[in-house]
Structure 1
Amino acid sequence: MARPKPQAFEKKKVVAENRRARFEYFLEEFFEAGIALSGTEVKSLRFGEGTIAESYAEVRGNEAWLVNANIPEFSHGNRFNHEPKRPRKLLLHVREIEKLRDGIGREGMTMIPLSIYFNDRGRAKVELALAKGKKLHDKRETIKARDWKRDQQRLLRDRG
């Protein structure tokens, strides 16, 4: 059975993307969250630096946090530069945090950041997904489907 397409957020400039997440996890629900950043972090992101490949999000108390996201120090920053891998607070509504906490409470679910981007108002946002990890056979099926789609496109292009 085909999974429904995720809802799209208004992304103006994508800074960091976790492309591996769609391969490693079944993505269930999608959320858009703001990030509490310091000044040099914003400047570093505007230059297109930052990675979220190994990061995850968690709920501590009544707050959501982005953990292990790497935003390197700003090159022109001085002694007020930020720490690159510090936990960053995610700005979500209380109902969304409760929904995330309930989702994580289920077996095998986790919060994965899919991308960091600037929206049309210039605010830094994180696209989060409530996800369940894939087993090895699920990953093989994903690879098989991807290869078949590629071959299908090739056949259609050669015929038409």
Structure 2
Amino acid sequence: MRIDLGADPLALDRQVCFALSVASRSVIGIYRPLLKPFGLTHPQYLVMLALWEKAPRSVRDLSSALRAEPATLSPLLKRLEVLGYVSRRRGRADERVLDVDLTDSGRALRAEAEKIPYQVVKALGMDVAELVELHTVLTRVIAATDQAAARS
């Protein structure tokens, strides 16, 4: 199979990594002012999303869901605990397991956070169908990178 990348395969504006990087920073920039009233950063918001789906969760389970290293999550979880949104405690069956649960304040925050996706869609000014299609393509990219990593 021959792959044709055009006359200049290193042109910056044709790089998938560049487009993903700029798009990621730009979209996260839209979230920043929406999350500020709650004292959340975007990575902390992702943790909260995972916990609103299922809580309590072990740090290992959160790490898997968020595709993040447990060491990366530790400072996020500490800050969320200081904010009063989560509690952390050692597992009863296994002291090595650290379980994370939502506090009443963390559960209540969900009602306010439900407005955020609508605000993001409005700020982007794109059709929901376009965003669903983008999500589908990005999910395929993630799966392809997983397969590539498994092969190497």
For CA contacts below 8 A with separation 6 or more, give which structure has more relative contact order: 1
**What is the TM-score with the length of structure 1 in the denominator?**
0.31
**What is the TM-score with the length of structure 2 in the denominator?**
0.32
Higher-helix-fraction structure: 2
